[in-house]
Chain A
């Protein structure tokens, strides 16, 4: 079945630095990728939707200059948390869908636990 790989699984960084998270589709072409954020004991909040080769669409309240999303190829999307602060500490999860996946379940990565000290 379709597999989505997310890397790194855990990252600890100092306040003010930037962190890049990668999301790869391993056996299909992901025309659309989604980035979610999950706070402790809460649901997933959609941050943005990215389509290959175009700018990401951000949800209301998500700072596009802080959470940079690049979807340069059909198998890779990256989320960069710029100038990270402790309040950015969270669990970030990507998901991907490809052509012919209409109304089919998205495939999720295993998530990245970000801790900003």
Chain B
């Protein structure tokens, strides 16, 4: 079945450092791909998405490119801030699925001042 694999955390960075969180997927067909962010004690918020190969999703300085050849959707940010500290989830939604999301295990990001 469809699945998502994320790099394990926690990821600890200093402010203004470059961030990469790896995400790869397994799916039949061409799923839509998402990154969600969860701040402490809160629900999930959509960070960005891409619906077809070579699409780049971006929001709040974060970017991720849908790479079909490597089945990847890595999250990047050029300069992280303390306020970016959160858990980040990669997720996919298969074509024709009833909006059912499959999540990766999440990666905790801790940014230190």
Stretch at the interface among A62-70, A75-83, A96-104: A96-104
Q: How far is the CA of A41 from the CA of B98 in the complex (A)?
A: 27
Q: Say which size band chain A's interface belongs to.
A: 20 to 34
> Taking CB as reference atom, which chain A residue is nearest B90?
A43
B20-34 contacts to A (CB < 8 Å): 32, 34
A32 contacts chain B at the CB level, 8 A cutoff: yes
Tell me the count of chain B residues lying within 8 A, CB to CB, of chain A.
24
A44 touches B99 (CB 8 A): no
Which B residues lie at the A interface, using CB under 8 A? 32, 34, 36, 41-46, 49, 51, 89, 93, 95, 98-106, 108
| 29 A-B pairs in the complex with CB atoms less than 8 angstroms apart | A6-B43, A32-B98, A32-B99, A34-B100, A41-B106, A41-B108, A42-B106, A43-B103, A44-B44, A44-B89, A46-B101, A46-B102, A49-B98, A49-B100, A101-B99, A103-B51, A103-B93, A104-B99, A105-B46, A105-B49, A106-B99, A106-B101, A108-B43, A108-B45, A109-B43, A110-B43, A111-B41, A111-B43, A113-B41
Which A residues lie at the B interface, using CB under 8 A? 6, 32, 34, 41-44, 46, 49, 93, 95, 97, 101-106, 108-111, 113
